Structure 1
Amino acid sequence: MSGTQRRNTDTASRAKSAALSRHWKVAVLAAAGFVTMVSGGGTTAAASTDSAEEKPASAAAKADDQPDPQGHGAHGGKGPGSGKDGGSSGKDGGSSGKDSGDHDKAKRGGHHDGDHGRGSHEGDHEKARSVECDPNDLISAIVRANEVSGPGLLELSDKCTYTLTASQDGNGLPAITQRITIIGNGATIARAANADDFRIFEVEAGGDLRLRNLTVTRGKADADNGGAVNVRPAGRLDLKNVTLENNTVSDVSSYEGGGVYNEGITDIRDSTLDTNFGTEGAAVSNYYGKVDISRTKVTGNVSDGYATIVNEYGTTKISESYLSYNYGFYGGALNNYGGVTEVEKSALTYNVGYYGGGIYNQYGSLYLRQSTVRDNTATDGGGGGLNLTTSAVIEDSKIVDNTATNSNGGGLSIELDDDELGVAIRDSKITGNQAPGNDAVGGGIYVDVNSLVTLTDSKVKGNISDEPAGGVHNDGTVVTNGKVKIIDNVPTNCDGSANPVPNCFG
């Protein structure tokens, strides 16, 4: 049984979600510039009109979100903006093979980012098994690697496409039960376009799959989770310089993780997650597991339900990454449901959601630090940048130019449950956000009844709503500390709220 089926409290909301037709959602995305209609009634992801992606903020820059044409990451090295299109360098959007010493010199027994073979602690590295440009040879190599006690090291043929046409137990390749590293050399593993539905990889308990410099595409789980990769409890997945694109799960409400479904431990870095589809977690769904995503582009993914990245009762950390042009119902880019999610030095831009254009935080804790949430749109449910129903910390970040089209809270909509402690916003800027719908309030921040918000050394400026207050509309409790500026908001800064905001005039 999947995590979705355990969400009894969301039955009414899910019914509302199901009522939305696919045509409506496509129309919303097209209107936002997220998809472009093509012949035959299909859609394709729209290309960014920006010259460069948002730059994830560094500690020194304190959430400086200016575009970086050179694509340097937060530490001066090549980060997720190092490619021509703002992604990682390399033909498939992965990082250059020259970084971090990860040349993957398997045949010469070199080090592979810690991917040593048999006897690695003694320096006796296992030689890689070369895999011919033949899917049957790849299947045989994985079967053999699962049979041996030590780590298996496989090296694919340079830029080969391994096209899979059949499956066993819903998997295009043998399930991973040992530690296996696959050095891709720019190769692609794909489900044949006319084949029956099946995912590409499954990592079972005790399995440890490491993929390098590889593209995985067209995986489609049939009535199960994980379109490209399914990581079972006590399984482990490690991706570096990997592209997961155009992977899906069946269009049924109970299946999750178009790219990766994780119940174990997953580490994704220097990679690209693009144009994947899943009802929950179009790119990644983490259920009671642990996920780390760093220096990675997450773009053009579409979810019918809970966002592009979903953390459900697990722990997820996203750092130095871009989440852009994604769509989801409950959170365009990110949904935290009962877990702990940390986002730092990252940019969430041009995402679209029904509730929470950038982030929707439910029943868990969210930490947003040194990051930018810009130009996201909530189409109806409020919170153009963030929709928060549980406790959160926003620190040293920018919430800029977001829009709640038909509801409150252009930048943030804060509607906490009665037992939640509150939202803390420190050293941050909430500027240029809008709530233009009829009778909408809180262009910058909307604070609902029973909600507590603490503003410290922050600025709320130049936000607009249809009705007052345009800056901070407070129906709950707002506490201000340090240097707080709430100025130049339309139609008022704070006047018109049910409750006063300390040190706010006009």
Structure 2
Amino acid sequence: MAAVAAAVVTGVTGGPATAVDLGGGTQVPCDAVMLAAAITTASAGETLSLHRDCVYHLTAENSPGEGLPTIAKSLTIRGNGATIVRDGPTAGLFRIFHVTSTGNLRLEDVTVRGGSASGDGGGIEVDNGGKLTLEHVDVRDNTATGDGGGVWVEAGAAAVVRRSWLAFNNAERGGGLFASGTLDVQDSEFFRNHARVLGGGLAQLGGDGSVRTTLVRRNTATELGGGVYTHNGGMKISGSKIANNTAVNRGGGGIVNSEQLTLEKTEVNGNVVGGPGGLGGGILNDASGAVLVLKGSKVTGNSANGNGAAQGGGVYNTSGTVTLDHSTVSDNASTTAPGGVYTDTLVTVIDSKVTHNIPTNCSPGLVPGCVN
């Protein structure tokens, strides 16, 4: 199971950890058929307790595109270290869980692995009106031909992610997680997920998102937002670290923001955009009206290193609003100046520093106090 991600000031770590005995509930033997039956017959509000450390092998669809019965009621599944896995290529293509508009699924101490959806939500799909809570859950090795390799949260749905690890998932948008609804993430990690278009770690398109004390690292996107992509909604990231993510082509090695994003006490470090003309190694603030606010945060060691006009190793802002409040943009690099902050609008600077970037620090005259 996933290790708890600590606040960035203490160092955020992730990866498998020991299972937690949460006990209680209706006991489910170590058998996938019995698990499906238990979900079907459970009363609303019931808790199912899985056999400790069991691997529940799903070898066939329960219904078209679904490995287990759809969740249309309030249900808690307490894993006790168990794994629920789609059992290889002979099992066909299906996701593991589907939460409908009337469903409220709470997963605890369990691994959801190997789902493969034709459409959205390779591991877990949550419909409009549905609710999902992940507590100490690994969501890994899932794939979607659409969005949300690990988890897909539709507009009007809500997801809470606590002390969880989303890793090695793959999708068009939102390799680890895609949300158009409400998203609340804390003490978790997004690791080595891939988006074939945008949002390697997570993508939020609509709704409001909160990400706290979480590590987003080593994720990739072919086009935009190697770590995080946010658009048509508001997101606040606090006490977190966005590190060593890559956008292969267009922009935002760490983050792309096209709406409203606040970073508070957060590090954006070691991210890369690699394509010719790639923009914003750390952060791409990419739309007229996009608002980016950094409070007590650091953008360091990022790079826009592709050939041609690759620019804005730290921050690239086009037509948006940027505020640097007690923050630092340093030691970033780009092929074309400036390497620290590129902007075409005046940046608000409050007791902040833009220093030691190459080939220069900032767009002349648009970042008050910055010296090239």
Fold similarity call, TM over 0.5: yes
Structure number with higher relative contact order (C-alpha < 8 Å, ≥ 6 residues apart): 2
Find the residue that maps to 1:272 and give its secondary structure. Answer: strand
Which digits, 9 at most, give the CA deviation of each residue in 1:165-224, with x for residues without a partner?
A: 444532444444554444545444444446553xxxxxxxxxxxxxxxxxxxxxx33xxx
Task: Name the residue aligned to 1:413.
Answer: 284
* Structure 2 counterpart of 1:66, from 11, 25, 34: 11
CA 1:89–1:447: 2 relative to 1, 3 Å? same
| CA–CA distance in structure 2, aligned partners of residues 474 and 140 of structure 1 | 58
| CA–CA distance in structure 2, aligned partners of residues 174 and 307 of structure 1 | 24
Task: Name the residue aligned to 1:26.
Answer: none
* Structure 1 counterpart of 2:226, from 357, 364, 370: 357
CA 1:275–1:502: 2 relative to 1, 3 Å? same
Which digits, 9 at most, give the CA deviation of each residue in 1:284-333, with x for residues without a partner?
A: 11112100101111111112334321111x11011111111111121111
CA 1:164–1:317: 2 relative to 1, 3 Å? closer
Find the residue that maps to 1:64 and give its secondary structure. Answer: helix
Task: Name the residue aligned to 1:258.
Answer: 122
| CA–CA distance in structure 2, aligned partners of residues 415 and 172 of structure 1 | 39
Give the C-alpha shift of residue 88 in structure 1.
3.0
CA 1:446–1:53: 2 relative to 1, 3 Å? farther
* Structure 2 counterpart of 1:301, from 153, 169, 176: 169
* Structure 2 counterpart of 1:429, from 272, 289, 298: 298
| CA–CA distance in structure 2, aligned partners of residues 385 and 65 of structure 1 | 21
| CA–CA distance in structure 1, aligned partners of residues 326 and 343 of structure 2 | 18
* Structure 2 counterpart of 1:88, from 17, 26, 36: 17
Q: Which amino acid aligns with 2:370?
A: C
**Alignment RMSD:** 2.5
Q: Which amino acid aligns with 2:282?
A: G
Contact 1:378 1:405 in 2 (8 A): yes
Find the residue that maps to 2:9 and give its secondary structure. Answer: coil
* Structure 2 counterpart of 1:286, from 153, 169, 177: 153
Which digits, 9 at most, give the CA deviation of each residue in 1:314-366, with x for residues without a partner?
A: 11011111111111121111111122111111111111112011111112111
Give identity over the alignment, percent.
30
Give the number of the structure whose residues are more often helix, by fraction: 1
Give the number of the structure whose residues are more often strand, by fraction: 2
* Structure 1 counterpart of 2:361, from 493, 499, 504: 493
Give the C-alpha shift of residue 478 in structure 1.
0.7
Find the residue that maps to 1:303 and give its secondary structure. Answer: strand
Contact 1:412 1:445 in 2 (8 A): yes
Task: Name the residue aligned to 1:7.
Answer: none
Give the C-alpha shift of residue 405 in structure 1.
0.9
| CA–CA distance in structure 2, aligned partners of residues 436 and 421 of structure 1 | 24
CA 1:331–1:273: 2 relative to 1, 3 Å? same
1:315 and 2:315 equivalent? no
CA 1:231–1:389: 2 relative to 1, 3 Å? same
Give the C-alpha shift of residue 141 in structure 1.
4.0
Gaps of 5+ in 1: 1-51, 58-62, 69-80, 91-95, 107-127, 198-219, 222-226
* Structure 2 counterpart of 1:398, from 244, 254, 267: 267
Task: Name the residue aligned to 1:56.
Answer: 6
Q: Note the 1:17-416 alignment, pairs <5 A.
A: 55-57=5-7, 63-64=8-9, 66=11, 81=14, 86-90=15-19, 96-97=20-21, 102=22, 104-106=23-25, 128=26, 130-145=27-42, 151-170=45-64, 171-193=66-88, 195=90, 197=92, 220-221=93-94, 227-250=95-118, 255-263=119-127, 264-278=130-144, 279-288=146-155, 289-312=157-180, 314-328=181-195, 329-353=197-221, 354-406=223-275, 407-416=278-287
TM-score of the pair, normalised by structure 1: 0.66
Give the C-alpha shift of residue 368 in structure 1.
1.1
1:468 and 2:337 equivalent? yes
| CA–CA distance in structure 1, aligned partners of residues 292 and 36 of structure 2 | 51
Gaps of 5+ in 2: none
